[in-house]
Amino acid sequence: MSNRTEVIVLCEDALHRSFATSFLKRVGLPLRMPPTVLMQGRRNNLLDATPKWIKAVRTRGGGAHLIILVDLDTADLGYIDREIADRIVVSEMPALTPLDNVLVVGAKREVDTWATFLFGKAVDEDEKFPVHDAEGKEGGIALAGHCQARTLPDGPPPSLSAACGSWRAYRVAKGI
């Protein structure tokens, strides 16, 4: 694998963009270039665009990675995984395998919930916690610190704990 990494982030909106970009800059990936962040608007638009970007990452080889950051709303990550798998089938592409450089991360309710928690407030993943784009940046920075230290404050939202675990496992598996 190349010792320099290309990261493409597929996300919904500006808050996701600021959260993901600040997170990736802080975790110390050896990036070939700043992450490419593609905002798709609504979740369905993001899911519809996913096969195209999976194909692009597969074509670019081992140094390219696709991170899909999605608000789960009231769904669970299994639902999102199935939706992506269905769209891949419709696109007549091979199914995702552990060899693919694709990480899907979902925030139960919204990424706003994670940012609110990381600012020290108690959260319930069934409630909305609107934050602004600048707060998304600070939330991404805070999350990077916690993920690197392998700690989260007490009582994290389950989807946030799962995302940190998935991120760590992905980095180890992919050697990045």
Q: Render pLDDT for 102-156 as a digit per residue (tens, 0 to 9).
A: 999 999 989 989 999 998 988 989 888 877 767 888 999 999 999 888 889 999 9
1 is a domain residue: no
Q: Is residue 61 part of a domain?
A: yes
Lowest mean pLDDT among 10-19, 47-56, 90-99: 10-19
In a domain, residue 56? The reply is yes
Phi, psi at 99, each rounded to 5° = -75, -20
- Cα–Cα distance between 142 and 162 in angstroms, integer? 16
Q: How far is CA 140 from CA 1, 96, 118, in A?
A: 27, 27, 9
Over residues 76-99, the pLDDT tens digits come to: 888 999 999 999 999 999 999 999
Instruction: Please give the residue range of the domain that contains residue 36.
Output: 6-174
> How far is Cα 174 from Cα 45, in angstroms, rounded to an integer?
28
Whether residue 35 has pLDDT greater than 80: no
- Mark 113-145 as b/e (b = at least 16 C-beta within 10 Å): bbbbbbeeeebebeeebebeeebbbbbbbbbbe
Q: Which residue has the higher pLDDT, 67 or 37?
A: 67
Distance (Å, whole) CA 49 – CA 43: 10
Give domain status of residue 104, yes or no.
yes
Task: Return the pLDDT at 1.
Answer: 40
For residue 26, tell me if it sits in a domain: yes
**Given pLDDT bands bounded at 50, 70 and 90, which one contains residue 3?**
low
Report if residue 93 sits inside a domain. Answer: yes
Write down the pTM of the prediction: 0.89
Task: Tell me how many domains the chain contains.
Answer: 1
Task: Give tens-digit pLDDT for 60-75.
Answer: 878 899 999 999 988 8
Of the pLDDT bands very low, low, confident and very high (cuts 50, 70, 90), residue 28 is confident
**Helix %, strand %, coil % of the chain (to 5):** 50, 15, 35
Instruction: Check if the beta carbon of residue 39 is closer than 8 Å to that of residue 17.
Output: yes
What is the pLDDT averaged over residues 35-46? 82
